[in-house]
Structure 1
């Protein structure tokens, strides 16, 4: 963050060229034809402005000569018609430019979203454990996505201002050479004060990133479908509204202070510019009074001064936009650079046939954590074996499972698949060889068949495989009873959809993992939402269901893992014990204590309060 805050909008020809090249290159690739037309129209608009000034002079000359010439009325009429045509053409071009600019803006936004999504979907999962990554992502989403087009708009504005200004300057200089340098000077104050405004804007955005993210999160709590039940059950609305309003109020306080600072610089620049413009107009009056300009030329010069002043302001504003956006584009480019190098078009990865996995001396820490989540852990999963990880909350079970499946790279230690170091295997192959059932799995607002077929999203859905996976997970019965069967939209967020119970969603997630047909299945609390009978059915048939595939099962319910080939007991990020259920029970350690404690609770609940006499 310190390096971001220390940035300054360095104004140099090289930086200007780099910013323009990046932004125009992006717009060129996103909407080439509309962009070309925008530039053509901008140049045309500039030429029309110069033509309007000459038409005004023609009109004034005609008016002043009406009494002296019988042809003056026809001359004035022709000049007026020309002025009307030029004015109408300028207005029409402006309207067309507005529509084109809107289309180009949306095209650039899509192109930038594609780049941002390339980063967010390809960076390592560990990035999502870092608040700094989310800060950068938020800044990119809220500011930097629009900045390249703003720079391009600035470039287009500068092109138009230079084109129009050149024509107007030549016209104005033809009236009197003294007017032009005075008018050019009027744009310098704005250009100078805009430097400080650019720094203030970027600093404000960086400083408010965390507050904006918290406010957005609170708004999700207040408006989200999943959160709505708990907000009402606990009466959280007033508390969360107060938090939301407080965060917004602090943001507005900071915004008021920021806008006051910007306004001071803006007032100084604009006031000084207006003074110089006033000096130019006084010079024009002086020239008229001393006979340096005739009345018609003076009238046309007055119009030219006003139009050229506007173009100078446009040029200054365009340059300010380019440099102010430059800081955000730097941030955007750094974010885009986080994405791994694209390997080009690849065929879908082919999963390995078997999964015999050795994890040796694995250590892993989350960003900013004081101690490792997994510390020097070794586990082995034999081909076709069911291995269980048990332990209390926070013991490192889920983290270890994600490391084994390739979602987190270990800080130390090695993972090998079938005797080959995973670092030498294509990461896509490891991913294709692993099927996850997460405890907090996603409820996809899509059709039931699609929900399951997403298990192998790189290929077209196979209806027969979908139904086989659903049957293996015990989901086929309730899916076939849905209004549209496997074509039923599973959500109430959209018209015509329906929702499932928690247990049904869990069976669907299990079916998705089975559909993936990977040699390693990782099940993280797969029965959390299942009723006891469904849980018993799932685990009693697990070996038959996975059909020779390896499985890593995480569960707090010891009854579900007692038949595993090997059980690893984790505590404080380490393996405290390992063995079969019988071996661990005989050892009388942590596993035996936890198993007995859990079993006694069930037996106590099952025992009658008053035994029969």
Structure 2
């Protein structure tokens, strides 16, 4: 600018300045900009995985009783969506500092020629910030207030995307019904969002018009100075640029503050989740790997599920001796699976105590207890993205893998034969939705899950309806192997098929959370009570089928 205003036309003198501009462009805009861009992407990639890991590890510590709470379930879903917004905190912090520097420098320039403009701009920008904050809060509250309904719809979306769920959905013609539930909700939900957006944009448009007027007021100071020739055209251009920079910088600064304001309630959700403690606190008593099977004593226990007023058990007493093979039978809702969940310490009991070898279960370190038990639930896990081998070795995932023991466990569960027929044998992925994968039948899945329990070989083994989907011949073989293979273990079996429990050391009959009968198969048959009647009915059913 200085050379342009002089009469010197020796453009060679401009070369150093051109050199400085080129160096600036290369170093700051090119190299440093590239480094910044790389660091930003690197930070995002690395942080996304670390944030995922941090979240799922913490969720795992909370326990089933905590995770089944509807409020916690909504909180987790929102936190999973907010998680990556934490990256914006870092990015926006850099932007905030940049805008502060821009605002200070450009504001300082304006103060030198029109000091009254600065407070006018600041007041106006603050006025525009208030409605933005208001509408951000409205949007957030609308989102949070509908968390549960959105979570319900996300489950339905899962149903409509899962081939196994779609089988029944399409056959019964439920697709349109379920799809319409999603459509109806989101049409209503989006109307609420658009209502907020419409109001926001109307207010924003009016404030933008006022903002333009404020800038024109700033320009008028420059034009008046130019008209009376207090400044040159070049200086006028510079001052107008300073006004634009100040307006933009202050607007961006308040925008960054708005982003932080928007992120604040999201971070509050994340902080609340990360500060949650398990509803079932961990114990402090160390339990080593048991060399002998444990005894279990229920002492006058009473239990009801969280958020329920109905007791499943009231003053229940039950003793299971070490090495005893116990079968638990009873009608649906009698409390059989609940009893198993209490042994697994998934829930806290309201009254009484459960003793493991005389030590209160609630006082044991939970991980130590889990190292000594194996449980096959009715809704057992099938790890479809893993191989058949991995699905079995997950019975003892942290121990050195023994191929011999994996095959032996599969044989005991009557699974080795069909696994061997897979194209890739034990290396077969267990889902047709993966390349070269195979989908086992329901009965085959159950055999693989049972094999996992054979491989685990824990001092205490619990089987909840372990053969519900298995053919009668395989069921007979598997139960005989369970009784034989685990003869030096404490074993608890829950089953509706009385033919599978007749060889148990003791059969316990539950009804409405109470033990109404117990004894050996022969003793209960002679008694002629509930067990005998149910056994006879099942036997007659088998005879009729034949």
The 8 Å contact of residues 453 and 461 in structure 1, kept in 2 or not, is answered as yes
Q: Secondary structure at the match of 1:567?
A: strand
8 A contact 2:320–2:326 mirrored in 1: yes
SS in 1 for 2:160: helix
The counterpart of 2:273, out of the listed 335, 360, 363, is 335
Aligned residue among 358, 372, 377 for 1:419: 358
Take 1:320 and 1:216, find their aligned partners in 2: how far apart are those partners?
30
Alignment partner of 1:204 is 2:137:
no
Match of 1:188 in 2: 126
Aligned pair count reads 540
What is the CA-CA distance between 1:371 and the residue it aligns to?
0.8
Q: Who is 1:577 aligned against? A: 517
Specify the alignment match of 2:67 in structure 1: 128
Taking the aligned partners of 2:215 and 2:195, their CA distance within structure 1 comes to: 30
Q: Distance in 1 between matches of 2:287 and 2:295?
A: 22
Hey, what does 1:354 align to over in structure 2? 293
The answer on whether the counterparts of 1:569 and 1:577 sit within 8 Å (CA) in structure 2 is yes
Question: For residue 263 of structure 2, what is the aligned residue in structure 1?
Answer: 325
Contact 2:328 2:492 in 1 (8 A): yes
Name the counterpart of 1:586: 526
Residue 404 of structure 1 and its aligned partner are, at CA, apart by 1.2
* Partner Cα distance (1:353, 1:466) in 2: 23
Q: Does 1:150 align with 2:70?
A: no
CA distance in 2, matches of 1:349, 1:79: 77
1:442 aligns with 2:375: no
Q: Residue 400 in 1 paired to residue 328 in 2?
A: no
Under a length normalisation based on structure 1, what TM-score does the superposition of the two structures give?
0.81
Return the match for 2:394 from 446, 454, 459: 454
Bigger drift between 354-363 and 165-174 goes to: 165-174
Per-residue Cα deviation, 1:100-142 (whole angstroms, up to 9, x for no partner): 3333233333332222212221112112322222111111012
* In structure 1, C-alpha distance between the alignment counterparts of 2:507 and 2:204, rounded to whole Å: 69
Residue 441 of structure 2 is aligned to residue 504 of structure 1: no
What is the TM-score normalised by the length of structure 2?
0.91
SS at match of 2:338: helix
For residues 63-462 of structure 1, the aligned pairs below 5 Å read: 63=4, 65=5, 69-71=7-9, 92=30, 97-143=36-82, 145-267=83-205, 269-339=207-277, 350-351=289-290, 353-444=292-383, 445-462=385-402
How much does 1:416 deviate?
Answer: 1.0
Cα distance in 2, alignment partners of residues 177 and 514 from structure 1: 83
Aligned partners of 1:534 and 1:274: how far apart in 2?
81
Whether contact under 8 Å (2:508, 2:518) holds in the other structure is: yes
The alpha carbon displacement at 1:86 in A equals: 5.2
User: In the superposition, relative to structure 1, how do residues 278 and 111 fare at CA in structure 2: closer, same or farther (>3 Å)?
Assistant: farther
Name the structure 2 match of 1:17.
none
Query: Which deviates the most, 208-217 or 109-118?
Result: 109-118
More deviation in 74-83 or 522-531? 74-83
Following the alignment from structure 1 to structure 2, what is the Cα–Cα distance between the partners of residues 424 and 342? 9
Mapped to 1, the partners of 2:345 and 2:507 lie a distance apart of 21
- CA 351–314 in structure 1, closer or farther in 2 if over 3 Å, else same: farther
2:394 partner SS: helix
* Contact 2:376–2:466 (8 Å) recurs in 1: yes
Greater shift in the superposed pair: 428-437 or 455-464: 455-464
CA contact (8 A) 1:187 1:313 kept: yes
Relative distance call for 1:71 and 1:403 in structure 2 (3 A) is: same
Alpha-carbon contact 1:351-1:430 (below 8 Å) kept: no
**Whole-angstrom CA distance in 1 between matches of 2:291 and 2:222:** 84
- Greater shift, 511-520 or 589-598, is seen at 589-598
By how many angstroms is 1:442 displaced?
1.5
Task: Give the direction of change, closer, same or farther, for the CA distance of 1:240–1:543 in structure 2 (3 Å limit).
Answer: same
Distance 1:309 1:435, change over 3 A: same
Q: Could you say what the CA RMSD is over the residues aligned between the two structures, in angstroms?
A: 2.8
User: CA–CA distance in 2 between the matches of 1:283 and 1:503?
Assistant: 85
Label 1:339 to 1:102 Cα distance change in 2 as closer, same or farther (>3 A).
farther
**Which stretch of the first structure deviates more once superposed, 200-209 or 105-114?**
105-114
- Where structure 2 has 5 or more consecutive residues not aligned to the other structure, the ranges are none
- Judged with a 3 Å threshold, the aligned counterparts in structure 2 of structure 1 residues 230 and 171 are, in CA distance, closer, same or farther, namely same
Q: For residue 555 of structure 1, report the CA deviation from its aligned partner.
A: 0.7
Residue 385 of structure 1, CA deviation: 1.2
